[in-house]
Amino acid sequence: MKTNIAKLRNGLGLTQEELARKTGVTRQTIISLEQGRYNPSLQLACRVSRALGAGRIEDVFLDI
Amino acid sequence: MLGKPHWFKRRKYAGWGFWPCCWQGWAYLAAITAPFFVIQAVPFDNEDIRWAAYFVWGAVILFDSFHIMSLMPKDERERTHEAVAERNALWAVILVLCVGVAYQAASGSVQGRIVFDPVIFAALGAGVLAKAATNIHLDRHD
């Protein structure tokens, strides 16, 4: 699934490790999400969207 | 609990269990191994006491290891990966066990007496029970 995670994360000046800690996952999971290799659960998608300050999940996960 | 989950990482590529990822983990491994050498070195009048000490300490380690494993943090992606890897591992084990049963039956029939290893059947039976119990639990809770 295509995502805007890297773009939004860089915009906030967050590292992958910091975003991982904020969302309660490992850095490897953030890497997989950024590369579009892993489709997250709705719960994780909400946590990532919230951590990135996105108003809607669709702003972060583009294929929804 | 003697050890802390964050001292270890899950073994993914070489078997099951965990492996130290910091000095505390290595210190824990040294600390839980040392009593075995102490039990070995201490002179006991009764060898049964030595074996009892081995057994008790072994049980403590087993319990602590399961506790560490159960508390080891895993996110949803890691949980999925582990579930798929464990399923594939189980299929490999089942395949080998079934081939083993077939081989025992074939070689036994050639010799005129069929012998089955009860441990293999116990392992397969335990697998069936574990799968059924897991599915019942998941159906009720998900």
Domain count within chain B: 2
pLDDT for res B140? 92
Residue A4 has which token pair?
Answer: 């805007």
B62: containing domain = 5-71
Helix (H) or strand (E) holding B66: helix B47-71
Count structural domains, chain A. 1
Please state, in angstroms and rounded to a whole number, the distance separating the CA atoms of residues A8 and A60.
8
Q: How far apart are CA B15 and CA B89, in angstroms?
A: 10
Confirm whether A64 is domain-assigned. Answer: no
Q: At which of B15, B44, B71 does a domain end? A: B71
Is A63 strand, coil or helix?
Answer: coil
The reported pTM is: 0.75
Q: Are residues B86 and B130 in the same domain?
A: yes
Interchain contact, B78 vs A29, CB within 8 Å? yes
Domain boundary among B24, B52, B71: B71
Q: How far is CA A62 from CA A12, A47, B90, in A?
A: 19, 16, 37
The structure tokens 């399961």 sit at B66
- Together in a domain, B33 and B57: yes
What pLDDT is attached to residue B113?
Answer: 81
Mean pLDDT across A10-35: 94
A49–chain B Cβ distance below 8 A for any pair: no
The ipTM assigned to this model is: 0.82
* Contact check, Cβ <8 Å, B75/A26: yes
Backbone angles phi, psi at A8, to 5 degrees: -65, -40
From B51, B71, B91, the end of a domain falls on B71
Pairwise CB contact (< 8 Å): A38 & B75: no
List, as own/partner pairs, every contact residues B50-54 make where C-beta atoms lie below 8 angstroms and the sequence separation is at least 24, other chains included: none
List CB contacts (< 8 A) between A43 and chain B.
76
Q: What is the tens place of the pLDDT at every residue in A38-55?
A: 999 999 999 999 999 988
Contacting A with CB below 8 Å, chain B residues are: 75-78
Q: Return contacts of A42-45, CB within 8 angstroms, 24+ apart.
A: A43/B76, A44/B75, A44/B76
Tell me the CATH number at A19: 1.10.260.40
Query: What pLDDT, on the 0 to 100 scale, is given for residue A64?
Result: 65
Do B113 and B130 belong to one domain?
Answer: yes
B31 and B66 part of one domain: yes
